[in-house]
């Protein structure tokens, strides 16, 4: 199985299952990056329990959905964000969120994967992976 952008596939799968009002989503193949993205979404309250299942191949991730995702998707190309960008939310990132106070941009930083709000609080920059609102 060749996946060009596994984060995009995972976020699209979440959005499709959420729009169908499913209670859970199964994401395959599993990776540490996808699990960390889902944990960042879990901290903000967008998804419930995240469980990794070893199926003997690439692995699967089972995510409990809570009905709180209106839209989610990848940020492509992956933009680098500085600390000042996290505070001001530049125009190229602002197009992904409906409002400054609604939703999160998921950022990969040197301290791990987190929301842009947490990265701004820690005063670090990173690379934008996806968005959720």
For residue 70, is pLDDT > 90?
Answer: yes
Mean pLDDT in residue range 47-67: 94
For residue 91, is pLDDT > 70?
Answer: no
For residue 49, is pLDDT > 90?
Answer: yes
Residue-level pLDDT at 81: 85
- CB 11: neighbour CB atoms within 10 A? 27
For residue 86, is pLDDT > 80?
Answer: no
Binned at pLDDT 50, 70 and 90, residue 100 comes out as confident
For residue 84, is pLDDT > 90?
Answer: no
> Which of the pair, 86 or 116, is modelled with greater confidence?
116
Domains of the chain, earliest start first:
6-65 (3.30.1370.30), 72-132 (3.30.1490.10)
Residue-level pLDDT at 92: 63
- Please say whether the beta carbons of 63 and 24 come within 8 A: yes
Q: Burial code of 63-78, b = ≥16 C-beta within 10 A, e = fewer? A: bebeeebeebebbeeb
Binned at pLDDT 50, 70 and 90, residue 1 comes out as low
6-19 and 32-43 helices cross at what angle (nearest 10)?
50
Give a three-class secondary structure readout of the chain. CCCCCHHHHHHHHHHHHHHCCCCEEEECCCCHHHHHHHHHHHHCCCEEEEEEECCCCCCEEEEEECCCCCCEEECCCCCEECHHHHHHCCHHHHCCCCCCCCCEEEEEECCEEEEHHHHHHHCCCEEEEEEEC
For residue 78, is pLDDT > 90?
Answer: no
């Amino acid at each position: 199985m060749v996946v060009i952008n596994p984060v995009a596939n995972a976020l699209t799968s979440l959005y499709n299952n959420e729009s169908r009002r499913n209670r859970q989503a199964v994401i395959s193949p599993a990776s540490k990056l996808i699990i960390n993205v889902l944990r960042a979404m879990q901290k903000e309250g967008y998804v419930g329990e995240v469980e990794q299942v070893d199926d003997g191949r690439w692995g699967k991730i089972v995510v409990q959905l809570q009905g709180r995702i209106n839209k989610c998707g990848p940020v492509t190309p992956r933009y680098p964000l500085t600390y000042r960008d996290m505070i001001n939310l530049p125009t190229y990132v602002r197009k992904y969120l409906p409002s400054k106070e609604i939703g999160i941009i998921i950022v990969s930083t040197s301290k791990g994967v987190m929301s842009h709000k947490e990265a701004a609080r820690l005063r670090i920059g990173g690379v934008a992976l996806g968005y959720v609102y």
